[in-house]
Amino acid sequence: MIQQGLMAVFASPACLVWIFVGTLVGLIFGCIPGLSAPIAVLLFLPMTFGMDTITGISLLIALYVGSTSGGLISAILLKIPGTPASIATVWDGGPMRDKGEAGRALGIGILYSFIGGIISTLALIFVSPFLAQVAMKFSIFEYAAMTFMSLAVIASVCDAPMINSLIGGLLGLFLSFVGMDAFSDVTRFTFGSRQLLSGFSMTSLLIGFFAVAEIFKYALQKQSDQGTVLAAKIKGFGVSWREFREQFGNMIRSALIGIGIGILPGIGGSTSSILSYTVAKNASKHPEKFGTGVIDGVIASETANNATVGGALIPLLTLSIPGSTVCAIMLGGLQSHGVFPGPLIFQKNGELMYAIYAALIVANIAFFLFEYKGINLITRALKVPTYYMLPIVVVMCAIGAFTDNNRVFDVKVIFFFSVVALILNLMRIPSTPLIIGFILGPTLELNFRRAIMYDQGNLAQFFTRPISCVMIIIGCIMLFWPIYQSIKRFFQTRRGHDSTKEA
């Protein structure tokens, strides 16, 4: 099985070509501000329907890896993060560029992105079989509790006010209820439409939210200059052997942060890069130098954001819980190919799992080569204006929605969801909890209702089973701790105001 999986990638010229193409396209999408990893993966999703499973999934992985690492190019050369995951790279990569060290910053960024990617691939290889074995012991109670915990974690750690994140997650759950009930032939919220009997297509929802809505946001924002692209020549990797040894601890710590953040559902590369940058700064002997162009900041940010990729794939493949938006799209891709991730994936699709490992390694090597040797080619893409790219993206998205089920209804659905995404954006309700809520909704409902029926209307087993009980407690802490903190802060501020008035 291992040999078959690895050979399906390494010995297949078509698969290798698609991985290289995917990585290059991902790099271009990652380095152009305004285009992101979800858009890149969504655009190619319909193409994968016509490919065999391993080639299709390898292409999606290559796009994910490429677009995550492409952000560093514009972060350094334009001082604008190409993707949210490279925000922290700008903080020290930008000043290095100003000091005339753009080539060195790029060399360091590329090297540590590669190392981060490889470490996270190793984590995926060693952690996922173990996690899958643990998950085999899960019953309906643990599945329902795990879904609740995931939703609570997403709501509490999302980069938005907690109430808004919770509302987002609940709206996602609500959307997942549209269609026919899984237990009976009862229809819900379909308004008599036959097209809605199977509910909303995940691909259409994702395209509407993450790709088409982007053009609305772009049109509504004040247009600014795309910035001047600085030409940079990379010589070596930008670090001496002594510096590499000095930064070893920073590298390992950042990689572990990236993997850990990746495993947590709902938060992705941006959080991991900012968090590892902050940790590196706090642990540094010279924290005052951070932000002035030190290599520590670039290393922390780039190692962490690339390490998120492998981390995010762990819960996706073994528990069927997407750790990020891109993983949610990949889940759609896997399901379209008849692959249903979960604890049994090693038994049912073992060949695919090993092929995914191989694809990750090849994609990491590919982006390393492209960025290191073809930086001039990629920076040319930075000069293509977004106003030409976005309308073409919309056209490709419409095809993507259409090919999902071969029906025009889904094309109309992407427009509906793009408008919903825009309205929610204006209301400051984040999209990520909504998407995760939509994906986890059926799992939550199915397992919760089964558990209640199994226990004859009783909730007791949720608390008498240790794993389920721990998950519910973690979920409750994640939900209520921030609420408690904000209530405490509110009353403290109020007391402060009252004492000032009295004085």
- Residue ranges that bind other proteins, judged by CB under 8 A: 46-47, 49-50, 163-164, 166-167, 170-171, 173-174, 177, 181, 183-184, 186, 188-189, 212, 215-216, 218-223, 385, 387-388, 390-392, 394-396, 398-399, 402-403, 406, 408, 411-412, 414-415, 418-419, 422, 426-429, 444-445, 448-449, 452-453, 456-457, 490
In whole angstroms, the minimum distance from the beta carbon of 441 to other proteins comes to 8
Whether the Cβ atoms of residue 57 and residue 334 lie closer than 8 Å to each other: yes
In whole angstroms, the minimum distance from the beta carbon of 167 to other proteins comes to 5
- At residue 203, what are phi and psi to the nearest 5 degrees? -60, -45
CB nearer to other proteins: give 348 or 450.
Answer: 450
In whole angstroms, the minimum distance from the beta carbon of 324 to other proteins comes to 23
Q: Where are the alpha helices (DSSP H) in 137-238?
A: 140-157, 162-176, 202-207, 213-220
CB nearer to other proteins: give 191 or 241.
Answer: 191
In whole angstroms, the minimum distance from the beta carbon of 502 to other proteins comes to 19
Give CA–CA dist 191/240, Å, rounded.
66
Give CA–CA dist 290/446, Å, rounded.
49
DSSP character for 85?
A: G
CA angle (464, 467, 468) in 5-degree steps: 60
Give CA–CA dist 399/396, Å, rounded.
5
Whether the Cβ atoms of residue 235 and residue 283 lie closer than 8 Å to each other: no
In whole angstroms, the minimum distance from the beta carbon of 423 to other proteins comes to 8
CB nearer to other proteins: give 228 or 282.
Answer: 228
In whole angstroms, the minimum distance from the beta carbon of 403 to other proteins comes to 5
In whole angstroms, the minimum distance from the beta carbon of 257 to other proteins comes to 31
Burial of 130 (0-12, 13-18, 19+ CB in 10 A): exposed
In whole angstroms, the minimum distance from the beta carbon of 343 to other proteins comes to 24
Whether the Cβ atoms of residue 102 and residue 61 lie closer than 8 Å to each other: no
Give CA–CA dist 251/94, Å, rounded.
20
Give CA–CA dist 433/428, Å, rounded.
12
CB nearer to other proteins: give 347 or 493.
Answer: 493
CB nearer to other proteins: give 93 or 266.
Answer: 266
Give CA–CA dist 286/397, Å, rounded.
47
Q: Which two tokens stand for residue 131?
A: 């996690």
In whole angstroms, the minimum distance from the beta carbon of 184 to other proteins comes to 6
Cα–chain center distance at 137: 27
CB nearer to other proteins: give 344 or 394.
Answer: 394
DSSP character for 228?
A: P
In whole angstroms, the minimum distance from the beta carbon of 431 to other proteins comes to 15
CB nearer to other proteins: give 51 or 477.
Answer: 51
Whether the Cβ atoms of residue 421 and residue 111 lie closer than 8 Å to each other: no
Whether the Cβ atoms of residue 211 and residue 397 lie closer than 8 Å to each other: yes
CB nearer to other proteins: give 285 or 383.
Answer: 383
CB nearer to other proteins: give 1 or 220.
Answer: 220
Give CA–CA dist 46/203, Å, rounded.
9
Give CA–CA dist 254/85, Å, rounded.
13
In whole angstroms, the minimum distance from the beta carbon of 430 to other proteins comes to 13
Q: How far is CA 329 from CA 48, 123, 210, 460, in A?
A: 12, 22, 10, 36
In whole angstroms, the minimum distance from the beta carbon of 163 to other proteins comes to 5
Size of the chain, expressed as the number of residues it contains: 503
Burial of 220 (0-12, 13-18, 19+ CB in 10 A): exposed
CA angle (340, 341, 343) in 5-degree steps: 125
CB nearer to other proteins: give 11 or 392.
Answer: 392
Is 291 strand, coil or helix?
A: coil
CB nearer to other proteins: give 187 or 278.
Answer: 187
CB nearer to other proteins: give 243 or 455.
Answer: 455
Whether the Cβ atoms of residue 281 and residue 274 lie closer than 8 Å to each other: no
